[in-house]
Each structure stands twice: as C-alpha cells, then as structure tokens.
Chains A and B, each alone.
Chain A
C-alpha cells in the first residue's frame, strides 16, 4: 500500500449527532471518510471543500490507498496548482452513501450488525451536503473560502450556496447542472436496471464475495459513454479492430471501443459497491435546486453574497452548456457575482478531470480574487 505523508489517509469520523435526511429518515452514527491537506489559517479563512463526482472519493490529490492510483484531481489540487496546500486548507470527503469510508449501503447497520443493503435510507445531494457540513463542524471550520466540484461535485457546490449561504464565500461549479434532465435520469435508470437484473444482486442483499459485478460493469459501460464525446470516441477508436485483422462474425470484443468499455466496466467493479451506485445515482436524479421554488431557480439563490464561477465544456452532452447557462441566468437574476465560461475541449464531460490549462487559469484567478 502506498504511503502518502502529505495526507492523513483514511481519516474517519463518526458524527456525534444523527443526520436528519430530506426523506424524513434519521441516520445515526454516520461515518465520514475524508482527507485534509494544508494548514487551517488562525482565522479559519482559507478552507476549501472539494466535492467529488458520482464515483469519486476523498482521495483527491493523494494516492488512493485501495487502488494505488494517483488522486483523481491532481491536475487541480496540489503544490503549485490552483488549489494549493501552501495557501489553502483543503478538505475532501467521501459522499454520504458512498463506499470509500463514508456511511453507505455497504456499511454495517449498528442496529442489526449487518450491512444496510437496501435498508439504507434513500439520500439526496442535500443530505451529502449536510454530512459535509457536520464534518466541517467537527473540524472547526465555520466558513469556507470556496466549495469546488465538477459534475455531481458541482451539484453539491451549488447546493452548499443554497443550504448554507453564510458558510460559503465562493462556489466553483464545473461541468454540472442545477437539475437532472430526463436524459440524465434515463441513463441512470439503465445503469440501475442493469445492476438489479443481475441475479447476484439478490434484492441488494448480495454476498460480499459474490456481488453483482456483471450488472455493475454494464452500468459503468453505459455511463462511461456519457462521459465522452462522439468526436472523442471516433478519434480514439474509430472502427479499429482489437487485436485482429477482420471481424470475427461473433460477439467477442471485435472493436477497440468494445474492448475499452469492457475494461472500464471490469476495473470499476473492483473499486465500487453496486448498491452505492444505486443510491448515489438516485440522489443526483432527485437533484433540482428550483423544485422548492416552483421552478424558479433564481429564487434558490435570492440575496446570495457568494461569488460563483460556472464552467462548461463545449463537447459535454451529459451536462451541456445550456444547463450551465440556466444557472448563470438565475444567478444574474438574483444579482449574484457570477463568472461563466464555456471552454473548448474534445473530451466531453470528462474534460474537467483531464489536462485543461484554461480551466486551471480560470479557477486560479477566481480563487485568488477572493483571497
């Protein structure tokens, strides 16, 4: 197992108070897995919370102890990067419902001594944010200099400004939306049905050594397509064949793109829990910041003093620029201080995780303006 002296790897805290969930349920003895990096200023003013995407985790800039792979956002977070431990106290937590140290369906229910499985309460993005707020309470962080996230992390970042407007000075929301569209929900439903159709799923009560890997892999394959762009797939694979000169007239992975997707599916099941996938996709499907305001998104941000930076990528069809513009329109209508830019990239939704000097420049300038 790699050691990373910069981070307190695998930090965990059990929240002292139960979480009251949006569904009305109550969750006691909630665990939160997190990492911190850098030093909190004496006035506590340099804390930045990083929110991860659907299948991310708290290992944002240090090696993941489970896979040994580098942190998922080392391009953005680290020495000399826009989010820099030399200037910032960086907090990254695994979301509620996750499977990387925070309470989720794979956790043991203290009431029964067995994994929650499908008895875990259905959670929402707001519940994830509340768990993060409780973690910050534990860490003694009253206000955040910024909340930064992409994709589902961007939803949490936006929701932070709505749920705790006094605690957030700035929000960076990248490749994200203020609601899940019908198409977003549709793709998630395909993934969930693939998991639940796997006989090993057993109503969510699967054996620890026999999880529904086939279903989860298909879910990941379908989702992975939505993270890329048609142009990106064409450039990377085209119709090229995998280790052969001609099609096999069979159902092997003849094409490179098939082989690639199968690999994505298989490597995913080694690091992710199938029930967690159900719960977290459900949380994003339920996400709609305008819903409590009769569909008026601006009302969600009324009187906000938070600064916002919204970034979209032109080839992202999962959370397209139109959804980012909807957020910006609402923030303008709420008289908020908002910046918005659409960056060019061939990489689709995944662009925010890849090398993007423009993204780094925008985030760096935006964060420094608040320091």
Chain B
C-alpha cells in the first residue's frame, strides 16, 4: 500500500484480505483498485460524480452512481464485511444516519474525516476570524461541499451516543501518526467502528 495516501493506507490497514468491501463516496476508485490488487477484496462503490463513476468502471470496478444520503437503504443488512466512508462524512446531509446505515450494511465501518478541532483550524478562527482553509479543508466556505464538519471529540461523542464501538482509531498529521492530543493535533482521523 506504499503508493496510497497516508489516510487511505490507514483505511486499507483496517481491511482484511478477501473482504467484501463497500466504499461509499469512492471517487474514481483508487482505493478500491488498490484494495483489489493488494488484498484481493470483492469491492463495490457508490459515487456521486458521473465522471468519477465512469473512471472507476473503466478500471473494472463495480461502482454505482448514487447518493449515500439516500441510497444506502437499498443495500441488504450485513451484505459487506467492511464499509468505508473516506473524506465523505462531512458532506452528508445526515451523517448520523449514514453512520448507522454503514454498520447495518457491514460488520465494520471505517470512517475517515478531516478533524475540525485541529489547531490550525482553531487558530484560523481565533486569530483571523475567518473560516479556515487548510490542507485537508482547501475549499473556501462558499464553495465547499462540507456541511457537517466535526472534531475528533464530536465524532467520539456521536459514536458513543449511537452505541457504536470504536475498535480502533488512527490519527494523522502531515502523513505522520499522531499518538497523543489527537483532537488538537490530528488533521485527519480514521475510525474503525463496530455495532
């Protein structure tokens, strides 16, 4: 998995060999293709953008153009071993519902998202009084698809409230692992959840 972005590598680490995987918001299928090549997974994807779907299908992946907010209900319960939600949670209209759906569809959900509690984000608001733009949040407020940003602590609270077990959590900053003070220091978080 050396070619993968650090956050994608952290996701891939949570996927067992030969697993049945659903990647929700799979983009052009880069992660699914890597998981197929290196872990022999049986992968499926959902993706909003038609151009991305075309690219993923051209890679030989089974990807459906659709909206995670509305389409997850079509999937049977426990149809997958792992459901992945990579950099997508914060763009959902109902992230809490999507999380619940993920752990219904799959035994394990892997959720990666940008941490809005990162110190650069906090500093940007505190000192400049401006909506933050960082490496993981590069789009200005008026153009971003991110409507439900959260911090590591927010996410833990939601998981606890919905009685989801955090099997593992990995935190990243500039591609390196963050081992302490994640809510301040992590730019990205990767949670492995189970029902």
Contacts and interface: CB of A to CB of B under 8 A. Distances in A.
Interface string A316-355: 0000000001001100110101111111100000000000
B61 A339 contact: yes
A332 to B, nearest CB: 4
Contacts of A343: 50, 54
Contacts of A335: 76, 79
Contacts of B64: 328, 332, 338-340
A362 interface: yes
A307 B50 contact: no
Q: Report the interface size class on chain B.
A: 20 to 34
Contact of B60 (A338, A340, A366): A366
Given A307-B62, A332-B64, A341 B57 contact: yes
A219 B121 CA distance: 64
B74 A333 contact: yes
Given A333-B75, A341-B65, A365 B53 contact: no
B5 interface: no
A344 B49 CA distance: 11
A365 B59 contact: yes
A342 B64 CA distance: 9
B50 A344 contact: yes
Residue among A325, A329, A339 having the largest count of chain B Cβ atoms under 10 Å? A339
Nearest to A325: B66
Interface string B41-73: 000100000100110111111111110000100
A338 B58 contact: no
Contact of B66 (A340, A358, A368, A369): A340
A309 B74 contact: no
A329 B60 contact: no
A364 B58 contact: yes
A329 B73 CA distance: 9
Given A341-B57, A342-B50, A344-B50, A333 B76 contact: yes
Interface of B: 44, 50, 53-54, 56-66, 71, 74-76, 79
17 contacts: A307-B62, A325-B66, A328-B64, A329-B74, A332-B64, A332-B76, A333-B75, A335-B79, A339-B57, A340-B63, A342-B65, A361-B54, A362-B57, A365-B59, A366-B57, A366-B58, A369-B59
Interface of A: 307, 309, 325, 328-329, 332-333, 335, 337-344, 358, 361-362, 364-366, 368-370
